[in-house]
């Protein structure tokens, strides 16, 4: 049995080749450098540029806009391959492809699509998604950054938090209020704006110093009276939050794929080490306690991947996916945390050392239980579905 094989027979030959390319590039160009990027907090700019050239910024962009036009299932397989090499690279790609790309495809005008999707597909534009603020994370609809009308223009002001790709993206998809304190419309008072990086008044902060994903950039984003024309508003005024929620279904599956990739990497290291490490004059893999640990790891990873595929297939069929996407993210992220904890245990003292790979995977796994909705928020979405008509 090989854990590294996503169920490739489910996709046609052309798609299989893309997954194979992702695996080859990830294992050759990303995996060998991931530990160093983590140690030095280095953003892998050159590797991101190469991925852009290979078409990985256009994984979900239709062929008519020069993208690869992948279905969700194949896209998830690609993300798992990248995450198995480095979760920092996979989150940069997944935020871009799942969130701004989905929102543009669903709600962009012909002009907005022409302006942004082609350069994205060519790898010239990386995008970020900015919903959270310091005081509004889980309760994202309580955000306070605001856009007000001034003649023909919108003027945006406020401070956004924790923006992945915040200072490396060329395009920022930013959610701000367009209602007023007197006419507060809650989740229907938020609009999405397409902001080119470098627009006067847009200032990313210093990269955050994080527990894991240390090679990915997470920044604040100051909006200091940023003037934008109507061509920067995405879709209908007041609908941006609803657009973001829908895109987050795909984003949550992407985090599930990332979690499966992290868990798979930890499992592979653990299985190999169990054959190398000798105690009591034999390799530790001869102890049944170790075999059972590996058996539980592979079982949970396979279950997490299967659920993630199920959610992806539902999206490909056009079925509603909010609950399935939440289940996939919840189960895969808790699996990644559990599997990486077991992997550190199996490595013993060496598992706790920076010289070995599993402590990085353990640190990287944690955030999958937090971003794009915490595990508690996923349980709320799933439970809500139980009572809705």
Q: Which is nearer to ligand FAD, 115 or 160 (CB)?
A: 160
SS3 of the chain: helix, strand, coil, percent, to 5: 60, 15, 25
Shortest distance, position 95 Cβ to ligand FAD, whole Å: 5
For residue 302, how many other CB atoms are within 10 A of its CB?
15
Piece of 162-170, 231-239, 268-276, 294-302 that binds ligand FAD (CB under 6 A) = 162-170
Residues between 356 and 375 with contacts to ligand FAD, criterion CB under 6 A:
367, 370-374
x/- letters, 187..226, toward ligand FAD (CB under 6 A):
-----------------------x--x----x--------
Question: Given 53, 286, 372, 389, which residue is catalytic?
Answer: 372
By DSSP bridging, strand 127-130 and strand 171-177 are parallel
The DSSP call for residue 69 is -
For 278, other C-beta atoms within 10 Å of its C-beta total 10
> Binding of ligand FAD at residue 138 (CB under 6 A)?
yes
Binding to ligand FAD (CB under 6 A): which residues in 239-268?
none
**Residue with smaller CB distance to ligand FAD, 72 or 258:** 258
In angstroms, give the least distance from the CB of 369 to ligand FAD: 9
List Cα–Cα distances, 92 to 4, 130, 274, 315, 335, in angstroms.
22, 13, 32, 22, 22
The residue range among 24-32, 73-81, 160-168, 260-268 that interacts with ligand FAD, by the rule CB under 6 A, is: 160-168
Round to whole Å and give the CA distance between 242 and 189: 10
Specify the DSSP class assigned to residue 68: -
Cβ proximity to ligand FAD: between 74 and 178 the closer is: 178
Query: Active site includes 372?
Result: yes
Q: In a 3-state reduction of DSSP, which class is residue 196? A: strand
Residue 244 beta carbon to ligand FAD: minimum distance, rounded to whole angstroms: 8
Rg (CA), the chain: 21
From CA 313, how far away is CA 164, in angstroms rounded? Answer: 27
Chain contacts with ligand FAD (rule: CB under 6 A): 95, 129-132, 137-138, 162-164, 210, 213, 218, 367, 370-374, 376-377
């Amino acid at each position: 049995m090989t854990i590294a094989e996503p169920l490739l027979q489910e996709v046609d030959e052309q798609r299989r080749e893309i997954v194979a390319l992702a695996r080859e590039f990830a294992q050759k160009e990303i995996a060998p450098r991931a530990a160093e990027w983590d140690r030095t907090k280095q953003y892998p700019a050159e590797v991101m540029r190469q991925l852009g050239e290979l078409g990985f910024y256009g994984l979900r962009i239709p062929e008519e806009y020069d993208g690869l036009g992948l279905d969700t299932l194949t896209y998830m397989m690609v993300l798992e391959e990248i995450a198995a090499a480095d979760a920092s690279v996979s989150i940069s790609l997944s935020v871009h492809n799942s969130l701004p790309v989905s929102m543009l495809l669903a709600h962009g005008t012909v002009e907005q699509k022409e302006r942004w999707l082609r350069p994205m597909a060519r790898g010239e534009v990386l995008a970020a998604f900015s919903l959270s603020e310091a005081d509004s994370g889980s309760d994202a609809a309580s955000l306070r950054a605001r856009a007000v009308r001034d003649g023909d223009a919108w003027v945006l002001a406020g401070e956004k938090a924790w923006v992945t790709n915040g200072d490396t993206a060329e395009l920022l998809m930013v959610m701000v209020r367009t209602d007023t304190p007197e006419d507060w419309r809650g989740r229907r008072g938020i609009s999405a704006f397409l902001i080119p990086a470098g627009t006067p008044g847009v200032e990313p902060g210093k990269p955050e110093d994080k527990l894991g994903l240390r090679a990915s950039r997470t920044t604040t984003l100051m909006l200091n009276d940023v003037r934008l024309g109507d061509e920067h508003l995405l879709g209908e005024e007041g609908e941006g939050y609803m657009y973001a929620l829908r895109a987050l279904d795909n984003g949550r599956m992407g985090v599930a794929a990332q979690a499966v990739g992290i868990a798979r990497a930890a499992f592979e290291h653990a299985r190999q080490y169990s054959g190398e490490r000798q105690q009591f004059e034999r390799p530790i893999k001869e102890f049944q306690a170790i075999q059972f640990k590996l058996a539980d790891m592979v079982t949970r990873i396979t279950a997490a991947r299967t659920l993630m595929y199920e959610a992806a297939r539902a999206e490909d069929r056009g079925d509603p996916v909010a609950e399935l996407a939440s289940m996939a993210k919840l189960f895969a992220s808790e699996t990644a945390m559990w599997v990486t904890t077991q992997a550190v245990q199996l490595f013993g003292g060496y598992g706790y050392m920076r010289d070995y790979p599993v402590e990085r995977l353990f640190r990287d796994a944690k955030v999958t239980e937090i971003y794009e909705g915490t595990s508690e928020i996923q349980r709320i979405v799933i439970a809500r579905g139980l009572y809705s008509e």
